Structure 1
């Protein structure tokens, strides 16, 4: 997740202070990716160091306002036009867990898969419900469209994880039938 570029995008309409940026980021993403206020200010400091934002005075409450520089606008436009690279996928805890569970003594990998499958089913149910709510409100509240897009991604990721767990289960069953260790306790 690019907090750096997300903050630049939120500064595009005008100067903001850190806690407002945090609130707007969380609203825009439907609360899916909460930000720590320290993370916001650390990122703002780096953006300032890199010449992408500047401090632009303080508001009536004494909060420091940050604004985009021309270099920040250029970086933001470039970010919007660049595809997100998938060449080095992030580490996935579930994949690591399953890889480590294969053949691990005392671990029944089928139980690991089953527990994850139940969790994904619950999460998917929740995302689908939230998506329906956001869809119903999207026409009245334009900010719901951003939340709807995030929820769509969560639904698709959960569906993909569920399909991947199906494949894992089939492979493990085949492995155990062929006489290999499937990670079941002996």
Structure 2
């Protein structure tokens, strides 16, 4: 996820200072993607440099409120209009780990799969409990549902890996 674009989306609702952006970002994602306050201010500085936001005068507490510019709104609109493609996503460490386990000589790949399945099932249970435990905003439900669907897909993929490796023996 582009922090830059997420902050622009939040700023499209009105001027905000860095701490407000951090809190609203985490609230929107159900706190599943914690955001370092330093990252917020670094991103705001870059966006200011690029003409996407303008800073206001510091308030009585020294906080600078930022406002999205016309260029920032155009950048945000481009981001929302551009589909995310698989090649834009970071490498999947689990896929690489299992591929390397197959390639390595002294690795018990069945144990690697079992350990991952256990961890994924534990994560799935935690996510399901979190979904049931509290009322969420629509944004938070979308994030939790996505994480649940990914965990379920990972479980199915691990089943597939296990079956494929049994065929190879």
**TM more than 0.5:** yes
Tell me the TM-score normalized by structure 1: 0.86
> Which stretches of structure 1, 4 residues or more, deviate above 6 A after TM superposition?
none
Tell me the TM-score normalized by structure 2: 0.94
- What pairs with 1:66-77 in structure 2 (closer than 5 Å)? 66-77=66-77
What residue number does 1:165 align with? 158
Higher-Rg member (1/2): 1
| C-alpha separation in 1, matches of 2:66 and 2:100 | 46
Alignment length (residue pairs): 169
| C-alpha separation in 2, matches of 1:58 and 1:89 | 37
CA RMSD after TM alignment: 1.3
- What pairs with 1:169-180 in structure 2 (closer than 5 Å)? 169-176=162-169
In terms of fraction of residues, the more helix-rich structure is 2
Contact 1:5 1:79 in 2 (8 A): yes
- What pairs with 1:87-166 in structure 2 (closer than 5 Å)? 87-134=87-134, 137-138=135-136, 144-166=137-159
| C-alpha separation in 1, matches of 2:22 and 2:89 | 26
Question: What are the Cα deviations for residues 65-89 of structure 1, in whole angstroms up to 9, with x where unaligned?
Answer: 1110111111112222221222344
Note the residue ranges of structure 2 that are not aligned, 5 or more in a row. Answer: none
Note the residue ranges of structure 1 that are not aligned, 5 or more in a row. Answer: 139-143, 177-186
| C-alpha separation in 2, matches of 1:149 and 1:78 | 21
| C-alpha separation in 2, matches of 1:29 and 1:89 | 18
| C-alpha separation in 1, matches of 2:150 and 2:40 | 27
Does 2:8 match 1:8? Answer: yes
What residue number does 1:24 align with? 24
Question: What are the Cα deviations for residues 83-120 of structure 1, in whole angstroms up to 9, with x where unaligned?
Answer: 12223442011111111111413210000000000011
